[in-house]
Amino acid sequence: MAYPYVQTNLIMRLVVQRVSKASVSVDEEVIGKINGGLLVFVGIAPNDTQKDIDWLINKILKLRLFEDEEGRLKQSITDIQGELLVVSQFTLYADVRKGTAPSWSNAASPDKAAELYADFIENLKKTTELVVKSGKFQAHMIVDLVNDGPMTMIIDSPTLA
């Protein structure tokens, strides 16, 4: 296959970190800040749809990533009434298999990604009463976080054709 390696079967990807606190700043101004919960980086691929968004929102709200009274991972973000900070991150689709300059050809176009990122945040806010904060699409952001655990995972949406 000739470079660049463009994959057509990519799906929406999240990197989720359990945090004791996190914030995102643009131009030295904090635009989103949470005090414990989940920091969610969102990578959007060209074929992503509303079905991917719905599946991922359901998944992150129900994942048991927080300890119960006995120290077992039995509680979800919803159970503990935690907060969510959502940040767009097209670099989750960087292709570095050839050369030293990453290719971004596997990420969705900026127009499509902006629309789906906004839909992700809007639908998350409609689905839960939890605090939901966000970064700014296509901005240079400074993300400050304290990873709790550390607990970090990658969640890909299933193929929902």
Q: Which residues are marked as active site?
A: 89-91
Q: Report the alpha-carbon distance of residue 101 to residue 104 in Å, rounded.
A: 10
Structure tokens at 143: 């993300």
Q: Report the alpha-carbon distance of residue 104 to residue 91 in Å, rounded.
A: 7
Counting DSSP H helices and E strands in the chain, the numbers are: 3, 8
For 2, residues 6+ apart whose C-beta sits below 8 A from its C-beta are: none
Q: Which secondary structure element, helix H or strand E, spans residue 59, and what is its range?
A: helix 50-62
